[in-house]
């Protein structure tokens, strides 16, 4: 049903400038977003979607309705839901199972202790944006400093491992609580989806400057990154 107001004229009616201008104004007013006819006359029509294709083989829209269907398809695809307007759906996250020995693993006050975090570039990652390993660590002693550092290595099929970042992250807690350290990977334009990553976190307990007698415990860790908003 059209939402544009139409003034009915009768045969033989004299059309004055004022009437002509008023009729034209009705058309202009009717093209405002609030008065353009919808494309959701019922739920079935509201659910219509069309795959827009891919670069090089697009499925072109011939009408504004077709454009809406393609936009809805993208929303549905990005959200991973049955319909483009679905709010909630079932999601899955991976969890790690650890033996007691692995769970009790720590960065030690003697020798060099290394933790390796392996991951792929996350799905939906925004190209060339940075991502961060958020690491919660805790010391069993509230005195001294634990000498620590981290190293980021990019792994790619057919290429040598590429070290693109490293820094000291010495830990000097004043208590035995968990503390967050953000290990941000500054991604260059040579980094791409499909690459793998190795984030290495070391403690050099034999360093003379390492004078914390306790062990450093990795309480929790996760990756934070910029990606598709709906995922």
Q: Is residue 53 predicted with pLDDT exceeding 80?
A: yes
CATH architecture of 100-225: Sandwich (2.60)
Tell me the two tokens of residue 28: 């202009």
CA distance 155 to 136: 25
What does the pLDDT read at residue 96? 72
pLDDT single digits (tens) 166-220: 899 999 999 999 999 999 887 765 677 778 889 999 999 999 999 999 999 999 9
For residue 228, pLDDT beyond 90? no
pTM of this structure: 0.69
Please report the DSSP string for 10-66 in residue order.
-TT----HHHHHHHHHHHHHHTSTTTSPPS-SSHHHHT-----EETTEE---SSHHH
81-108: pLDDT as tens digits: 899 999 888 776 667 777 777 778 899 9
Of 114 and 225, more confident? 114
Q: Average pLDDT in the 153-175 region? A: 90
More confident residue, 22 or 67: 67
In the chain, where the domains are located: 100-225
What percent of the chain has a predicted confidence (pLDDT) above 90? 51
Confidence of residue 124 (pLDDT cuts 50, 70, 90): confident
**Which run of H or E residues covers position 151?**
strand 148-155
Listed ranges 9-18, 19-28, 46-55, 113-122; the one with the highest mean pLDDT: 46-55
């Amino acid at each position: 049903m059209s939402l544009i107001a139409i003034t009915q004229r009768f045969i033989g009616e004299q059309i004055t400038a004022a009437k002509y201008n008023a009729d034209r104004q009705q058309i202009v007013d009717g093209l405002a977003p609030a008065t353009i006819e919808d494309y959701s006359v019922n739920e079935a029509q509201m659910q219509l979607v069309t795959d827009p294709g891919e670069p090089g083989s697009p499925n072109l829209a011939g009408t504004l309705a077709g454009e809406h269907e393609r936009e809805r398809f993208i929303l549905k695809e990005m959200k991973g839901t049955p319909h483009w307007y679905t709010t909630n759906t079932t999601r899955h996250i991976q969890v790690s199972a650890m033996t007691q020995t692995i769970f009790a693993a720590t960065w030690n006050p003697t020798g060099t202790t290394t933790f390796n975090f392996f991951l792929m570039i996350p799905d939906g990652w925004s190209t060339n944006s940075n991502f961060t390993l958020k690491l919660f660590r805790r010391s069993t002693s509230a005195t001294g400093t634990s000498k620590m550092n981290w190293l980021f290595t990019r792994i790619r099929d057919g290429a040598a491992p590429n070290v693109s970042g490293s820094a000291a992250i010495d830990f000097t807690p004043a208590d035995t609580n968990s503390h967050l350290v953000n290990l941000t990977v500054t991604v260059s334009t040579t980094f791409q989806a499909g690459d793998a990553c190795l984030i290495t976190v070391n403690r050099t307990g034999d360093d003379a400057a390492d004078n914390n007698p306790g062990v450093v415990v990795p309480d929790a860790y996760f990756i934070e990154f910029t990606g598709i908003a709906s995922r």
